[in-house]
Structures are given as C-alpha cells and as structure tokens.
Amino acid sequence: MTQATPPLVAIRGRSLIDGRQRAATANPVILVEGRRIKAVGAAGDIAIPDGSSIVDAGACTLMPGLIDMHVHVAAFNCLTFQNYRVATFEVSPQLQMFYCLYHAQLCFEMGFTTLRDMGRGTPYGAYTAELCALRDAINAGVVPGPRLIVSGRTMITGSHFDLLTLPRAAKREPGFTADGPYALRSLAREHLRTGCDVIKTCVSGGMAARSEYDVRNMTQEELNAVVDEAHAFRKPAAAHCFTPDGQRMCVEAGVDTIEHMVFTDDDAIARIRDSGRYVVPTLLHRSDAAIERRREHGASESLVRRMKEIQPSCFETFQRMRSAGIRIAMGTDMTIDPEMGQNAKELEIYVRLGMSAMEAITSATRNAADALGMLRELGTLEAGKLADVIAVDGDPSQDIRVLQDRARIKLIMKEGEIYVDKLSREPKYVIHPQPAERKIIDRL
C-alpha cells in the first residue's frame, strides 16, 4: 500500500516578499504540501495540480511568518494587573502559564509564527520548565500558538538577571544563580536537561532596579564556560550586553547573538562585524511609549528616568551597527509594556533609523532564522522549507506600518496549517474575535 500524499494547498496573492531582500514577485503562487513548501514563484511558472485546494489572498502580500528573537511571554501581566510589581507576587506559576499562552497567541495573531523567548526570573525560580511545557504543548497541537524557542538562564549572583524581576530582598530559589565556571556549567546543564533551546546569560548590568548597566556581570572565564557548555550540547548562546567591554567578551567567548548593545565603541563594532555575530537590537523596548507604559504599571521613577537616559545611545548604536555592516536580527524585548502583539513596531523604528522597509523585513525573516540556526527550515519562502506563510492586506515593502494592523493580517499558516483566516466566509481565529473585556484585577 502506498502512503497517501498530503493534500496540496495553493496560496495566491498580489505580490510576494520571499524574505531574501529581493524585489517582490507579482501574482505569486505558493504550493504547500503537508508541512512544507513544494514550490513558489510567479503564477505563470507554477502549475497548480488538479485537486489542490485554493486559498485566494486577493490583493494581499504573501510573506514568511515573522520571527521575534527576543520576547518574554512569561512577563508582567499588565493586561490584567495595574502594577507589575504586585503581579510578580500575586500570580502563581499555574496562573502564569495561562498568561504565557495568551501572550504568545497575541503575537501569533499578528503574524509572528516564531518567538524566541528569553525567560523570566520569578519568586518560584526561573521559568525554563514552564516555557518548555508551553512550547511542547503547542508543538503537540494541544493548544494553538507560535513556535517557541525557549532559553535557559545562567547568571551570577547579583547580576542584572538576578535583580531584573526579583527585588533585592526577595528570597531566591536554590540554583537560581551560580558563581564560578564549574557552577555555571552545572547550571547551564540543568537548564539544558530541562529542554531549553538556547542558553542565555548576561555579561553586563542593565536597567534592573538599583543596579548599574556598566558593571561587569561575569568574568571572561565564566562566560567562556557557559558558552562552551551550550555549544557542547549543540545549542546557541545569547548574551544580554550593554557595554563595549562586554561586547568584546562576547566575541571572545563565541556568543551567538548579542542582545541590546546600547553602548559601544569603534573597536567593539569592528570585532562584532568581523566575527559575523548577530545583534538583536530591541529598540521598541526603548521607545517613549514603552517607557511611559512602564511608568503607568508601577516602575520606579528612577528606572523610568534611566530608561529615557539611555534611549539616544540605543538609537545611535543601531545606526552605527547598520552602517558598519553588522548583521541584525529583529527582536523587541516585548515584556507587555508595549503590549504583546505590537512586535512589528520594532520594524518601524528600524526604518525610521535608516533601514529600507525590505531590509527591516529581512531582519525579522531571513536574518532571524539564520541567527536561530534554523535557516534551512525557516525565514524565507523557498521550496523545501516549512510552510510558515502570512498574507497581509497592503504592501509592507512600501509601508512597514501595515504589519501593525491586526485587521490587515488576513492569513496565518504555520507548518502548512492555517490558524488565522480572515479571507474565508467562515473566518478562523486563534483568539476570540470579540473577547470579553479584560479586567484589571488588582485595582482597588
């Protein structure tokens, strides 16, 4: 008996952006067989076999599912909590799991079919196991959502990550932090055993309450150990880093993606460029809107002030990286402050700072997939790749802002399966199209 071949789906649209920073293709067809793209090209070049089901995306632009390299779906429940510092202690891990799924789905519904989640420290410890469980539930088809790439955190005592989401005086779970190369190797191995996809660490301070961004968070020896451990298990390493000294340490250690950057110098820029490392800029998190939302949701005045202080450096560093030819993969540091799902606003900032719209799109498609080490499977619309396809009403290569409009994201396909379909007479959604009003549950 021969095995039944999966049904073919042919998606048509007005134009196609393939993610490779090339001119758009007019009147395209994407032929999808099972989970993968079978063929893609102009309608005249692609024969649609009899019996294929047709998805007519009309005037839409077809493009790869978007990738956000830096989100925190476990973070800050400001959708239903007025004050995120209260939420840290009021929300149990069990309740938080529902928020994690909801946050991931909010991004998914906006065309982000892949999210790299950068974790969270909670009063119950790091969230690696919880996020791996969410990833696995999505992959198993139990709940709809984006593909999650989950990080495990390795951090030293008193580091930025140690202080980022937990108050200085809060008790830590044993094993929350580690010090010295062998203890950090052990911590990395624990996270790897839990099933994380990437090891995350921090080499400099950041914007945590009452900590300084320019303090060193690890010795070179410790960083080398963490990165070596990740690579030994064939996983990439990502490092939060705000300073040029930290950036030099990252290049030396072989860190795969440098997160944030913020401050830099010519030497660090040259070393990163020559090493071919990717940088994930996370500028949306530095926007006025994000800072204001932080203030509304309980951030201290000093944190708000310091976020505003570093803002110009973030934007300037981005421009320096871009003109130097550093490879950029899009990431937002979405932590609910700019609400989940508004990830594509990051691309608008890139365009405002000098990228073409097509270059910005490439940072969230091809480059992001490359930075994940998943370019063979994701990031561009090419035969053989997983069929992560979205249809957008409008032309993002002319106006990048169309990606921010939920009503314009008409179709979302992940691995050949349609999750959102606003083109059909019987539309399909992940999140209820008329959800009940969200309630702020800690308002007096």
Nearest distance in Å: CB 116, Zn ion? 10
Nearest distance in Å: CB 399, Zn ion? 28
Rg (CA), the chain: 21
Nearest distance in Å: CB 83, Zn ion? 20
* Cα gap 67→279, rounded to integer Å: 14
CB-wise, 160 or 235, nearer to Zn ion?
Answer: 160
Of 98, 440, 99, 135, which is closest to residue 298 (Cα–Cα)? 440
Write out the two tokens for 30. 């994407």
Using CA atoms, how far residue 208 sits from 56, 96, 334, 431, in Å, is: 48, 21, 16, 33
CB-wise, 197 or 333, nearer to Zn ion?
Answer: 333
CB-wise, 16 or 75, nearer to Zn ion?
Answer: 75
Per CB under 5 A, residues contacting Zn ion are 118, 333
Nearest distance in Å: CB 206, Zn ion? 9
- H-type alpha helices, 152-265: 160-164, 181-194, 220-232, 244-253
CB-wise, 104 or 392, nearer to Zn ion?
Answer: 104
CA dihedral 95, 98, 103, 107 (to 10 degrees): 170
Nearest distance in Å: CB 333, Zn ion? 4
Burial of 269 (0-12, 13-18, 19+ CB in 10 A): buried
CB-wise, 284 or 357, nearer to Zn ion?
Answer: 284
Nearest distance in Å: CB 203, Zn ion? 14
Half-sphere exposure of 290 (CA within 13 A, CB side): 23
Write out the two tokens for 26. 């007019």
CB-wise, 18 or 333, nearer to Zn ion?
Answer: 333
Residue 46: phi, psi to the nearest 5?
Answer: -115, 120
CB-wise, 337 or 348, nearer to Zn ion?
Answer: 337
Residue nearest Zn ion (C-beta atom) = 333
Nearest distance in Å: CB 87, Zn ion? 17
Nearest distance in Å: CB 160, Zn ion? 10
Q: Does residue 104 contact residue 138 with C-beta atoms inside 8 Å?
A: yes
CB-wise, 162 or 333, nearer to Zn ion?
Answer: 333
- H-type alpha helices, 233-339: 244-253, 266-275, 288-296, 301-324
How remote is the C-alpha of 227 from its chain's centroid?
Answer: 20
